[in-house]
Chains A and B, each alone.
Chain A
């Protein structure tokens, strides 16, 4: 079957019931999305499908309709997206394992709500678990990214 991942067509030979996560990681070698729970309960595997964040560990690859974007596909040619740069500036990650999912969710949030309030952040990000407790810096980074996007019109 054919997927479009980060703008590239990818042909994979997968059981349609295989979760998108494992198709990406084991078959396509795209390892940015992480395995955390397998039941859509932690958000480490979050990717965008047609712009909507989905938990790829629970989505059968055969049900994917639309372009898939992973953490690897967020950045433009200059290396880091505005959100990733904000994450770097705020020194958000600790172990870093959940951060691909966090960043993908934050991207989706800022697409829908360019200037999110604390409540908007709570509503959007509570599906992404972080065991290191980086939440205060995640909040700061989302606000920084929002400000930067507003400043540059990105």
Chain B
């Protein structure tokens, strides 16, 4: 629970996000198969983007500095109160004396409207923005190693399945609507989408 550990993690994430590492080349795919699978793939993508753009995920995948609040008793989607921001250091872990970890611990508060929690609670890097982005925009971002933390689609699927902070989206604590499906469902959907050539909808 120390700040230092969190900041180091944040720094690692920042470095990874910024590194000009290229994703592995996509495996060679049969053109006809792509044509056939594109419809199937887009259907899978619709399921995936329903998760990514869900408030449990998108509220902390923002382009600006402010996490969002939404849901019953929070009114229309709005800025997280208390002047909470990404942090002057850009880490996503908040500011001096008001880190995310001042309130967001490693598990959810059991109290209605209490702070949700998961390990390493923080804001996603700005280039991974989903909030108010179109399906096509999110799709392009997910596939762009410059903007997805230099991950392959396999990495992304595993990340969705295994990262406890991502997993929080399906276990968001009392009073919050979870993201659709489950981590496992979404992991498999990403696999199927990737297998179908990871098509993106027209922008």
Contacts and interface: CB of A to CB of B under 8 A. Distances in A.
Interface centre among B97, B98, B111 (most CB of A within 10 A): B97
A51 B102 contact: no
The dominant DSSP class at the B interface is loop
27 contacts: A38-B111, A39-B109, A40-B102, A46-B102, A50-B3, A52-B2, A52-B102, A53-B97, A53-B98, A53-B102, A54-B101, A54-B105, A58-B103, A60-B105, A60-B107, A106-B97, A112-B97, A116-B96, A123-B83, A123-B95, A124-B95, A124-B96, A124-B97, A126-B98, A127-B82, A127-B83, A127-B103
A40 B115 contact: yes
Interface residues of B, number: 26
A126 B88 CA distance: 15
B68 interface: no
Nearest to A121: B97
B1 A113 contact: no
B3 A52 contact: yes
Contacts of A53: 97-98, 102
A105 B102 CA distance: 10
Interface string A127-147: 100000000000000000000
Given A105-B97, A113-B96, A123-B96, A52 B1 contact: yes
A66 interface: yes
A: interface residue count bin: 20 to 34
A65 B102 contact: no
Given A54-B101, A106-B97, A127-B98, 20 more contacts: A40-B109, A41-B82, A50-B2, A51-B3, A52-B99, A52-B101, A53-B102, A55-B103, A59-B105, A63-B1, A109-B97, A116-B96, A119-B88, A120-B88, A123-B85, A123-B88, A123-B96, A126-B83, A126-B84, A127-B82
Contacts of A113: 96
The dominant DSSP class at the A interface is mixed
A125 B3 contact: no
Contacts of A125: 97-98
A49 interface: yes
Given A52-B102, A122-B83, A58 B114 contact: yes
A74 interface: no
